[in-house]
């Protein structure tokens, strides 16, 4: 029966909040795993974008309003924007076609940058967002390093390498017979700021030295 099969997760939103486990210390069922605070880092991500683009005034984000992580992430972004004196332009999309049309409609002057929230649909269309932002000379902030490698400006999130390493250890212990309920959920605390200077040059942006020096990885 599948009801008896252990499940290992890699959650980007608090697993207690979304009901995957009873608590971090005592999962309480057949689920356990690794928690990467992607959603919790939303506010810090916007703060960094503001530091990279000091004159930032309007920033656009796309997300599906039915998606729980996106809802939580957008709330954090909204509050952070208020504190930073930035207008968060929220575009709700419920299909890939709607998202792609919204991205293609972006124009320089209407917004100052693109900012990601925790939405898989938008992340899956990252290349279109990157290409459109480049044409319109808009800075981009993502929560996935690979998007920066593909041409995005910056990302701030956990190390996926570290997340994979920890997950592999959990798999090993479960295969050895340890029950998920006896394996506390482990958080990943290795956070990386990645900046693409080549992308910055393409849009005519100079990244402030005080931000650049804090980057864990710089793509030139």
- Give me the residue spans of the domains in the chain: 2-37+159-190, 42-157+192-219
> pLDDT tens digit string along 42-86?
999 999 999 999 999 999 999 999 998 899 999 999 999 999 999
Rounded to two decimals, the pTM is 0.86
User: For position 2, what pLDDT does the model report?
Assistant: 63
Alpha carbons 65 and 119: distance in angstroms, whole number: 9
> pLDDT tens digit string along 185-207?
988 888 999 999 999 999 999 99
Closest CA to 38 of 59, 66, 58, 67: 67
Residue 15 vs residue 201, higher pLDDT: 201
Tell me which fold the domain 42-157+192-219 belongs to: Rossmann fold (3.40.50)
Please report, to the nearest 10 degrees, the dihedral formed by the alpha carbons of residues 62, 63, 64, 68 taken in order.
-170
Whats the size of the chain, residue-wise? 220
User: For position 1, what pLDDT does the model report?
Assistant: 47
Q: What's the chain's Rg over C-alpha atoms?
A: 19
Closest CA to 34 of 190, 191, 188: 188
> pLDDT tens digit string along 104-116?
999 889 999 999 9
What class has domain 2-37+159-190?
A: alpha beta
């Amino acid at each position: 029966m599948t009801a008896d099969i252990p499940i290992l997760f890699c959650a980007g939103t608090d697993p207690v909040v979304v009901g995957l486990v009873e608590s971090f210390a005592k999962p309480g069922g057949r689920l356990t795993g690794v928690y990467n605070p992607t959603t919790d880092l939303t506010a810090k991500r916007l703060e960094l974008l503001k530091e990279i683009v000091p004159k930032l005034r309007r920033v656009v984000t796309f997300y599906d309003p039915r998606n729980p992580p996106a809802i939580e992430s957008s709330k954090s972004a909204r509050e952070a924007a208020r504190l930073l004196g930035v207008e968060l332009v929220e575009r709700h999309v419920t299909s890939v076609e709607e998202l792609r049309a919204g991205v293609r409609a972006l124009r320089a002057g209407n917004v100052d940058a693109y900012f990601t929230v925790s939405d898989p649909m938008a992340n899956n269309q990252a290349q279109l967002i990157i290409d459109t932002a480049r044409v319109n000379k808009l800075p981009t902030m993502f929560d996935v390093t690979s998007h920066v490698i593909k041409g995005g400006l910056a990302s701030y999130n956990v190390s996926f390498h570290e997340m994979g390493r920890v997950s592999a250890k959990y798999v090993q212990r479960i295969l050895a017979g340890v029950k998920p309920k006896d394996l506390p959920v482990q958080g990943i605390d290795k956070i990386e700021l990645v900046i693409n200077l080549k992308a910055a040059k393409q849009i005519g942006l100079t990244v402030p030295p005080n931000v650049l020096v804090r980057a864990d990885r710089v793509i030139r």
